[in-house]
């Protein structure tokens, strides 16, 4: 048995945490005789992060960022549209990281023929995902939602109307106009969300919009929740802390999908975190090498390495008084686990001992050249941040 002592919990308590094997045995009480005592030095002990929607299994970056479980998007080569591919992906992080593959909604992610959700669920898929793109055919999307609902799987959807965003690399507005970039109106997001909520309503399916980034999109999510629909949404720190002004120097590290939005929409995103509209904060981890980023902006690939900066950037929401620490870990761990149907994401007796010891105040500087990710393409390069993971435990076992 292990016992963490001299630690703080996200709810503010100072209490011992007991670990028996792979699970939390208790919180509070005296240290049991013979236990291996781990002195936390007064630091924060929190649930390990559950990252809902990464595009690459990147164990060193996950370890640095405190991520113990990662939901892998189906946009792989080949796409995760077959039980064998799902099974292989589920083993790809072992022994140090749990990888939870998301099944491709359609064959080859082409948006046409449905994949075999049932067989992929049996192979280890934890949800169904449309991938990087919206499914344009409403009939296909309705069948995806209905079929997923029959198997008790959440559909993780991309929220951009492809008819409006085709070939666009930015959101229409002053910045895109000044730079001469191909752009799409911000309403492309709300249009996609509105259709998919309507289809989810008639199918009875659970739907999670992986990234919502506009005021109009948040208004639709709020209305759906008020109606009692099983609708959730997420966002990344990039869209919480950067606006489209970050692309003003044509820096391709800020070429993202969905693109960065206006400052007004960014402020709406902060408010959506504050009022509970947003359910999940995820990294969107998508490391891209020089061959994808050292190109003219319009020719570069969208995506950013986000695993290592997820926790440090998200802690800014606590420092700024937007949310409390307990709520932050609901966004980073509890809610993603619930959406995926996982056993974890909480500090409670009986829960898996997936834990991180965090120094909230430890200062460091983001440096794309020194990142542990497969590539260091972050728009936060050289930004001073605070908050580091000191130790990480997966199922009670420390991961070095």
Is there a domain that residue 177 lies in?
yes
Q: What is the pTM of this model?
A: 0.96
What's the CA gap between 63 and 391, in Å, rounded? Answer: 9
Task: Indicate the pairing of strand 44-47 with strand 355-365.
Answer: antiparallel
d(CA 143, CA 203): 9
Residue 41 has pLDDT above 90, yes or no: yes
Q: What's residue 28's pLDDT?
A: 87
Banded pLDDT at 31 (limits 50, 70, 90):
confident
Report pLDDT for 30. 83
Residue 372 belongs to a domain: no
Banded pLDDT at 35 (limits 50, 70, 90): confident
Confidence of residue 33 (pLDDT cuts 50, 70, 90): confident
CA atoms within 13 A on the CB side of 4: 31
The answer to the question of residue 106 being in a domain is: yes
CATH number of the domain bearing residue 150 = 3.20.20.140
Q: Has residue 95 got a pLDDT over 90?
A: no
CB 55 within 8 A of CB 80: no
N residues, the chain: 400
Q: What is the rounded end-to-end Cα distance, in angstroms, of the chain?
A: 19
Does residue 78 have a cis peptide bond before it, meaning omega lies within 30 degrees of 0?
yes
3-state DSSP assignment of residue 253: helix
Q: What ranges in 100-137 are assigned the alpha helix state H? A: 117-123
Among 26-35, 342-351, 366-375, the range scoring the smallest mean pLDDT is 26-35
Beta bridge partners of 234: 280
Question: Strands 384-394 and 355-365, how do they pair?
Answer: antiparallel
Is residue 175 in a domain?
Answer: yes
With 90 as the cut, is the pLDDT of residue 334 above it? yes
Name the pLDDT band for 191 (thresholds 50, 70, 90). very high
- The fraction of the chain above a pLDDT of 90, given in percent, is 94
- Label the pairing between strands 17-20 and 355-365: unpaired
Residue 93 inside a domain? The answer is: yes
- Helix orientation angle between 263-274 and 215-226, rounded to the nearest 10 degrees: 30
Residue range 349-372: mean pLDDT, rounded: 96
Summarised one tens digit per residue, pLDDT across range 367-389 is 999 999 989 999 999 999 999 99
Query: What is the predicted pLDDT for the residue at 20?
Result: 94
Count of structural domains within the chain: 1
Structural domain that includes position 135: 47-301+313-343
> And the tokens for 128?
């169904």
What's the chain's Rg over C-alpha atoms?
20
Q: For residue 29, what pLDDT is reported?
A: 80
Residue 360 within a domain: no
Instruction: Label residue 31 left, alpha or beta by phi (over 0 means left) and psi (-120 to 50 means alpha).
Output: beta
Q: How far apart are CA 345 and CA 355, in angstroms?
A: 9
Rounded mean pLDDT of 25-51?
93
> Which one has a higher pLDDT value, 70 or 31?
70
Residue range 265-324, pLDDT digits in tens: 999 999 999 999 999 999 999 999 999 999 999 999 999 999 999 999 999 999 999 999
When pLDDT is cut at 50, 70 and 90, the band that residue 225 belongs to is very high
Please count the other Cβ atoms lying within 10 Å of the Cβ belonging to residue 253: 21
DSSP bridge pairs for 24? 19
> What is the Cα–Cα distance from 368 to 383, expressed in whole angstroms?
10
CB 388 within 8 A of CB 357: no
Q: Residue 98: what pLDDT?
A: 93
Average pLDDT rounded to a whole number, residues 238-248: 96
The answer to whether residue 40 sits within a structural domain is no
Yes or no: say if 248 and 196 are a contact pair by the CB < 8 Å rule. no
Q: pLDDT confidence of 102, banded at 50, 70, 90?
A: very high
Residues 94-127, buried b or exposed e (16+ Cβ, 10 A)? eeebbbbbbbbbbeebebeebbbbbebbebbbbb
Which single residue is written with the structure tokens 């700024």? 320
Q: Give which of 255, 288, 259, 246 is closest to 376, Cα–Cα.
A: 288
Cβ–Cβ < 8 Å for 139, 146: no
In a domain? residue 337: yes
Structure confidence by residue, pLDDT tens digits, 140-176: 999 999 999 999 999 999 999 999 999 999 999 999 9
Q: Show Cβ contacts of residue 39 under 8 Å, excluding neighbours closer than 6 positions.
A: 5, 6
Query: Could you tell me if 80 and 57 are in contact, meaning their C-beta atoms sit under 8 angstroms apart?
Result: no
């Amino acid at each position: 048995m292990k016992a963490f002592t001299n630690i703080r919990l996200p709810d503010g308590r100072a209490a011992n945490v007991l670990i028996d094997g792979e699970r939390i045995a208790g919180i509070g009480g005296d240290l049991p005789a013979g236990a291996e005592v781990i002195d936390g030095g007064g630091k924060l002990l929190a649930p390990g992060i559950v990252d809902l929607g990464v595009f690459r299994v990147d164990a060193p970056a996950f370890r640095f960022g405190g991520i113990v479980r990662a939901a892998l998007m189906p946009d792989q080569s080949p796409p995760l549209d077959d039980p064998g591919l799902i099974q292989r992906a589920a083993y790809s992080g072992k022994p140090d990281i749990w990888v939870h593959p998301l099944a491709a909604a359609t064959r080859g992610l082409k948006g046409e023929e449905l994949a075999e959700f049932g067989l992929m669920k049996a192979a280890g898929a934890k949800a169904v995902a449309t991938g990087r793109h919206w499914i344009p055919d409403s009939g296909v999307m309705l069948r995806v939602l209905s079929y997923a609902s029959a198997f008790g799987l959440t559909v993780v959807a991309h929220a951009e109307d492809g008819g409006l965003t085709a070939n666009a690399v930015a959101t229409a507005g002053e910045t895109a106009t000044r730079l001469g970039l191909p752009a799409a109106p911000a309403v492309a997001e709300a249009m996609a969300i509105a259709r998919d909520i309507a289809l989810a309503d008639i199918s009875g399916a659970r739907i999670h919009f992986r990234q919502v980034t506009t005021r109009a999109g948040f208004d639709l999510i709020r209305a759906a929740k008020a109606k009692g629909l099983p609708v959730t949404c997420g966002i990344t720190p990039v869209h919480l802390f950067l606006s489209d002004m970050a692309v003003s120097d044509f820096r391709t590290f800020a070429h993202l999908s969905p693109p960065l939005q206006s400052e007004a929409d960014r402020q709406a995103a902060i408010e959506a975190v504050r009022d509970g509209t947003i359910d999940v904060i995820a990294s969107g981890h998508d490391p891209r090498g020089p061959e994808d980023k050292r190109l003219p902006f319009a020719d570069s690939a969208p995506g950013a390495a986000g695993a290592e900066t997820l926790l440090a950037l998200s802690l800014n929401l606590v420092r700024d008084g937007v949310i409390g620490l307990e709520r932050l870990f609901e966004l980073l761990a509890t809610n993603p686990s619930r959406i995926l149907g996982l056993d974890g994401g909480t500090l409670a007796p009986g829960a898996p001992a997936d834990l991180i010891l965090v120094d909230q105040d430890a200062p460091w500087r983001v440096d794309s050249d020194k990142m542990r990710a497969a590539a260091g393409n972050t728009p936060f390069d050289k930004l001073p941040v605070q908050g580091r993971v000191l130790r990480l435990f997966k199922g009670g076992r420390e991961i070095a």
